[in-house]
Structure 1
């Protein structure tokens, strides 16, 4: 590995780090190109990845990593994150060990992990779909009105599963199991697995739990009014972005994406060790 693309949210804030990385990589015979990826930019394939790029570095937190993964989707180039945020579940590198990490990368001493993505779209009342969006962490439904309970009926492969009265719903990948899903008391799973987690947010029931679904299941969700005369309005987001409205008569469909993300791994910690380390430092 010799040629790198660095993606960061703000190049001015990261200027010292960018200069350092350029110097380290150049001293070892490599090259580094830098691109800025703003917080609100999450369009798949919109970051131009040069043909000779061997690896993509991200500088920031998990949000920067997620945006870079989405925006370079389809390039096939693996990513690794330098953690400049808080917990950094997705970022494999700590700032103090960057020089050593660059050596390992340029000596091809790393492993590749493939991570599944979710994809989805909203069908309107005429069954016309909008544009497909993808998520590395999760697809989330919440109410657009404060303190409003949603009535969400979930179908799996066309069969009704359950009608939830809740604040919202999370559909998470294994990678996203340590994100919003964790806060909603959903299970933590190894990110290398292939499955879909369904976790209701604050369900108004005594027996509603997360459900683990087959990765090839097709999930659909319909929003209905809880009482006659109600006009509920929900919002669907993909990794916190690509927000769109969901109203009665429309349908959200979530499924496994055809694409996967490749992530470079240098850490010798296994999944459980990494979780324990991150949890204790929080």
Structure 2
């Protein structure tokens, strides 16, 4: 009885760069030697078993957006600098793919959040793996964001913006605005204000089963919503609802890789810089 060939889709900006061709050739060669198929930037992913994201974390987010609710496991090869999501180094390509082909790896399920505008999905991709941020458009005035959790009033944020972050995104824009690091699979979301105009407003962590409703007022009568960095203009009076999506993003992880060691290595977590 024959076994179906596994299909690996290779996607990312690095596929178009000359200096990355050697890595792509190495991937294609290894997969073919193991009876698998490499698909370079395919239009459709429905017949794909694994997605290989080549680039940095921004490329990984785009790959996750393309995978969407198909829940295809993603292997992130880090061709950039930080590589928190894309954590496989170019030197580890053969080792990692060999482990995947022998089914010797782990899958991490990462929460996705979605945005509804007046009860309907936004025109662009409404799903975010990292965060959804509501931001002012002009440089002069703050915005007012009345925030409700499961119908209960939380607070009226007077701020430059508000970040709703998943645990995956907690080490991104959320962290740079003073939000906490949240361990993956903790079942939490974080609400972090951007430059709040009050000293007694701090980030708050809530259950990821919560519905977050935002009513935004702005002197310019419009504002921006950034969904994993994809910006969309919204008109004042549009009620935003943010909730957990009905699917997860599956990330391939090496069995010996641990989250806290990644914090130490990538963010210099706990490093003593005193001389």
Q: Same fold (TM over 0.5)?
A: yes
Q: Deviation at 1:72?
A: 1.2
Contact 1:116 1:261 in 2 (8 A): yes
Distance 2:112 2:243 in 1: 9
After superposition, the C-alpha distances for 1:147-171 in whole angstroms (9 at most, x for unaligned) are 3211111111122110111110000
Identify if the C-alpha distance between structure 1 residues 21 and 129 changes in structure 2 by more than 3 Å, giving closer, same or farther. Answer: closer
**Is 1:277 matched with 2:272?**
no
Runs of 4+ in 1 over 3 A off after TM superposition: 127-132
State the SS of the aligned residue for 2:41: strand
**Is 1:215 matched with 2:208?**
yes
Q: For residue 28 of structure 1, what is the aligned residue in structure 2?
A: 34
Contact 1:92 1:267 in 2 (8 A): no
Q: Deviation at 1:267?
A: 5.2
After superposition, the C-alpha distances for 1:60-97 in whole angstroms (9 at most, x for unaligned) are 01111111111111223211100011111101311111
State the SS of the aligned residue for 2:27: helix
Question: Structure 2 length as normaliser, TM-score?
Answer: 0.89
Contact 1:223 1:246 in 2 (8 A): no
**Is 1:172 matched with 2:165?**
yes
Identify if the C-alpha distance between structure 1 residues 129 and 60 changes in structure 2 by more than 3 Å, giving closer, same or farther. Answer: closer
Count of equivalent residues = 263
Distance 2:140 2:260 in 1: 36
Q: For residue 196 of structure 1, what is the aligned residue in structure 2?
A: 189
Q: For residue 94 of structure 2, what is the aligned residue in structure 1?
A: 99
**Which shifted more, 259-268 or 78-87?**
259-268
**Which shifted more, 176-185 or 230-239?**
230-239
Q: For residue 48 of structure 1, what is the aligned residue in structure 2?
A: 44
**Which shifted more, 232-241 or 107-116?**
232-241
After superposition, the C-alpha distances for 1:94-127 in whole angstroms (9 at most, x for unaligned) are 111111111111111100111110001222xxx7
Identify if the C-alpha distance between structure 1 residues 267 and 129 changes in structure 2 by more than 3 Å, giving closer, same or farther. Answer: closer
Of 2, 6, 10, which aligns to 2:10?
A: 6
Distance 1:135 1:198 in 2: 15
**Which shifted more, 170-179 or 96-105?**
96-105
Contact 2:71 2:247 in 1 (8 A): no
Contact 1:220 1:251 in 2 (8 A): yes
After superposition, the C-alpha distances for 1:4-51 in whole angstroms (9 at most, x for unaligned) are 111112532033321221112222332211107xxxxxxxxxx51152
Q: For residue 122 of structure 1, what is the aligned residue in structure 2?
A: 117
Distance 1:205 1:102 in 2: 50
Q: Over aligned residues, Cα RMSD in angstroms?
A: 2.0
After superposition, the C-alpha distances for 1:227-269 in whole angstroms (9 at most, x for unaligned) are xxx334210011011x322333221111111111111111523
Identify if the C-alpha distance between structure 1 residues 89 and 221 changes in structure 2 by more than 3 Å, giving closer, same or farther. Answer: same
Contact 2:75 2:252 in 1 (8 A): yes
State the SS of the aligned residue for 1:11: helix
State the SS of the aligned residue for 1:224: strand
Q: For residue 157 of structure 1, what is the aligned residue in structure 2?
A: 150
**Which shifted more, 160-169 or 14-23?**
14-23
State the SS of the aligned residue for 1:29: coil
Contact 1:48 1:72 in 2 (8 A): no
Question: Structure 1 length as normaliser, TM-score?
Answer: 0.87
Of 8, 22, 39, which aligns to 1:16?
A: 22
Distance 1:218 1:50 in 2: 30
